[in-house]
Amino acid sequence: MPNDSWETASPLYKKIVLTGMAFLGVGIIASLVGNLGHIMWLTYASIAIIGIGLLTHLLGLGVRIRDAKRRARR
């Protein structure tokens, strides 16, 4: 799969994946701070942030599949 690398990925896919990673990172940090500081609202908010990150990653997977199908048709 030499054509299936980060360099050949579409700019949209790269933006979506990096955004998802950022949400996951912020969610994990918020979860740690909320749990260690016993801040329940931050702990619950971190679950939502992590969920957004996971959904964003799934969206990126869909974009990557769409791009691969378009490449295969050419």
Domain housing 56: 11-73
Task: Give pLDDT, residue 40.
Answer: 97
- Counting the structural domains of the chain, the total is 1
So what's the pLDDT on residue 2?
Answer: 54
Please give the pLDDT value at position 22.
Answer: 97
1 has a pLDDT exceeding 70: no
- Give per-residue burial for 34-51: e unless 16+ CB within 10 Å, then b: beeeeeeebbeebeebbe
The 10s digit of each residue's pLDDT in 15-65 is 999 999 999 999 999 999 999 999 999 999 999 999 999 999 999 999 999
Q: Is the pLDDT of residue 74 over 90?
A: no
42 within domain boundaries: yes
Would 4 be classed as within a structural domain?
no
Give backbone dihedrals phi and psi of 37, rounded to 5 degrees, phi first.
-95, 5
> Would you say residue 36 lies in a domain?
yes
Position 32 in a domain:
yes
